[in-house]
Amino acid sequence: MLALLRPEEQVFTAMLTGFANQQLARNPARTTVEGRKNTVKAFAAYVNAHPWHWTPAMADEWLGDLRSRRDLLRSTIRSYSEAVRAFCHFVTDPPYAWAATCEERFGTHPVQVVHEWNTAVHVQDNEADAKKGAFTEAELHAFFEHCDDEVARNSTLASLGRLDIDAWSAENTERGRTCLRPSLNRALRSRRCPRSLSVPAQRISRRPAPSEDERLAAPGRLLTGTDAPKRLRVAGVIVILHAQPLTRIVRLTGDDVLPTERPRFCGSGNPPRPSPHR
């Protein structure tokens, strides 16, 4: 018998190599074989013993610890136990002679440590989480309806032409065109529409600045008019008097109006801006 420098480590490494080769000969995925090999190494590290010293009690403790402390799924724990079972079956199979080798070198031999009584029984076809269950009949119906709508939409986009774009531009107001233009641009950039199409450019209207008389008359109409809600009229007055953006105006509350002697101050800026008394 050839003497080994580190017999325990070298024999265990040879066992793992032979186990991986046997698994690959059955034609599973290489990642599956590596996962089983790593599981065996993890079990050996947990029990701090080589395979010829393993016992069923060690497997019980390891599997129980995986479930209680790490809270692994039943299917995961079963895959771990099956990996150790397959390894033990390999090293105890007489044709591979690992039992005789261990008996000769270490005075003992490996045994099967994973049995029916210390592993979970696979009694369900689907062990997935209940939250990830199969579709119900109603969900399947809704899903297929959605698929039909997608097919119809894609076929409609594929048949989109220049006349359709012009009709869309003529039938919608400028506001409607502004709202729909991003969606139509995304559709045109996709592969579902002809690349030669384009969306008409957005028209930007620039009104002339109001005169001084119109600017002074506007607050009066807002203060005395009744054709608009009071909140809108107040916002309009603040916009005209303080030149504040609407995004800031809509965040104002009653606490932002600071009632000093004169003039009153509006807390929309820093420092607060003075407001006319009336």
pLDDT at 108 over 50: yes
In CATH, the architecture of 7-118 is Orthogonal Bundle (1.10)
Three-class DSSP category at 274: strand
Look up residue 191 and give its amino acid.
Answer: R
Looking at residue 49, its pLDDT comes to 94
Query: 71: which DSSP letter?
Result: -
CATH 1.10.150 residue window(s) in the chain: 7-118
Cβ neighbour number for residue 88 with a 10 Å cutoff: 21
What is the C-alpha to C-alpha distance for residues 132 and 116, in angstroms, rounded to an integer?
29
273 φ, ψ (degrees, to nearest 5): -95, 140
Looking at residue 206, its pLDDT comes to 64
Q: Mean pLDDT in the chain?
A: 77
Looking at residue 263, its pLDDT comes to 45
What is the C-alpha to C-alpha distance for residues 23 and 91, in angstroms, rounded to an integer?
13
CA distances (Å), 202 to each of 93, 163, 194, 205, in order? 79, 18, 21, 10
Q: By 3-state DSSP, what share of the chain in percent is helix, strand and coil, each rounded to 5?
A: 60, 5, 35
Mean pLDDT of 247-258: 66
Mean pLDDT of 180-206: 68
pLDDT at 271 over 80: no
Q: In what order do the strands lie in the sheet with 257-258?
A: 257-258, 264-266, 273-275
Mean pLDDT of 97-116: 92
Give the pLDDT band of residue 76 (cuts 50, 70, 90).
confident
* Higher pLDDT, residue 236 or 14: 14
Looking at residue 47, its pLDDT comes to 93
What is the C-alpha to C-alpha distance for residues 19 and 88, in angstroms, rounded to an integer?
9
- Contact 16/40 with Cβ under 8 angstroms? yes
Mean pLDDT of 108-117: 91
Give the pLDDT band of residue 176 (cuts 50, 70, 90).
low
Q: What is the pTM of this model?
A: 0.47
Three-class DSSP category at 100: helix
Q: What is the pLDDT of residues 149-172, one digit of tens each?
A: 666 665 566 666 777 767 766 766
* Higher pLDDT, residue 199 or 116: 116
Query: 195: which DSSP letter?
Result: T
Give the pLDDT band of residue 278 (cuts 50, 70, 90).
very low
- Contact 238/248 with Cβ under 8 angstroms? no
* Higher pLDDT, residue 137 or 91: 91
What is the C-alpha to C-alpha distance for residues 111 and 201, in angstroms, rounded to an integer?
79
What is the C-alpha to C-alpha distance for residues 41 and 17, in angstroms, rounded to an integer?
12
Mean pLDDT of 69-77: 81
Q: What is the pLDDT of residues 13-72, one digit of tens each?
A: 999 999 999 999 989 899 999 999 999 999 999 999 999 999 999 999 998 888 887 778
Mean pLDDT of 185-208: 68
What is the C-alpha to C-alpha distance for residues 80 and 88, in angstroms, rounded to an integer?
13
What is the C-alpha to C-alpha distance for residues 53 and 41, in angstroms, rounded to an integer?
14
CA atoms within 13 A on the CB side of 271: 4
pLDDT at 265 over 50: no
Q: What is the pLDDT of residues 197-214, one digit of tens each?
A: 666 666 666 667 777 777
Q: What is the pLDDT of residues 210-235, one digit of tens each?
A: 777 777 777 777 777 777 787 777 77
